[in-house]
Amino acid sequence: MKLLEDAADALARFDAAVTAAPFGAATVLRLLCTARLTTGTRDSLHRLLAAEADPFHDAALTPAERAVRDLLVEEERRARSGGIPSLARLTSLDPTIETYPDADRLEAALRAGSDRGVLERILDLTAWAPSTGVGECLATLTLVSAGRTDRLILLPFIDVESRAAAHEAWRVGDEAPWRDLTLTALIAQLRARHDALRAITAGQARENERLAALGRAAVTTRPVLDLLRRSIILTMPIVAEDLDCSRPAAQQALERLTSLGVARELTGRGRDRVWGYEPAIGRLGAALE
């Protein structure tokens, strides 16, 4: 019961944090899910962020990154509109779900939706899933469809040995080890994301001090910093259009922010570059380390 209460409290705190977060933070969290379900690296997250800002960079994505990204976007849209995640479409994450003997029960759990069942549904989904990737995906989509958050997150499951032992115990009727691992992981994930979102805002005073050190250049750079904080990912044309400035001026401002460590160029290219808000990308992407 204490774990259930702690999980509910963590969900409430996380919901409060994302309400005050920059709107681009939701994008980072969704693409973080995609990265974790594919290569699980920061490079993957950076490729996905670049493609989000400029479709030109879609060509740099791996087929798996592109497929999972599109799947999560579509399933998130379905969940927000009141639909349930499609079990058949999630087979692209793990084909074994098609032959898993309890697939019917997993589908039924998705359709349950009782008022008392938010955390219980998460437990049921993760317990019946045939793999960690599918279980995490279903759990996050359940959070969205249950209205507990509109940001997709993933649960950082415990080491393989502990998970295997808990799953074996569950198969013989002892659900406690699996429930405890899942709830503990959920609490840790939510608290980490909550702390990261708060830290992003708390660090902005120090960023303002670094910006002031630019002197007169700070006047033209500050609006770009404000836009970067809201959007999380930007291109030079987006800056120029949004702030009604020249492209060279937008480029210079982004390069100044990069030199201050506030922005990071994500593509490594000389053209069609994409910048990210380093405090958000660094802190939220820490789960990939």
Structural domain of 262? 203-288
| Per-residue pLDDT at 102 | 67
Q: 142 CB contacts (<8 Å, ≥6 apart)?
A: 85, 110, 118, 121, 122, 125
**What's the number of domains the chain is made of?**
2
Last residue of a domain, one of 173, 200, 227: 200
**Residue from 70, 68, 48 nearest 58 by CA:** 48
Q: 213 CB contacts (<8 Å, ≥6 apart)?
A: none
| Per-residue pLDDT at 144 | 77
214 and 126 within one domain: no
| Per-residue pLDDT at 56 | 93
Q: What is the mean pLDDT of each run of 10 residues along the chain (289 residues)?
A: 84 83 84 86 94 95 92 83 77 75 70 65 74 80 75 71 79 79 84 87 90 92 95 95 95 95 92 94 82
| Per-residue pLDDT at 112 | 66
Are the C-beta atoms of 39 and 215 separated by less than 8 Å?
no
268 and 161 within one domain: no
228 and 110 within one domain: no
| Per-residue pLDDT at 94 | 79
227 and 98 within one domain: no
CATH of the domain at 62: 1.10.3290
165 and 154 within one domain: yes
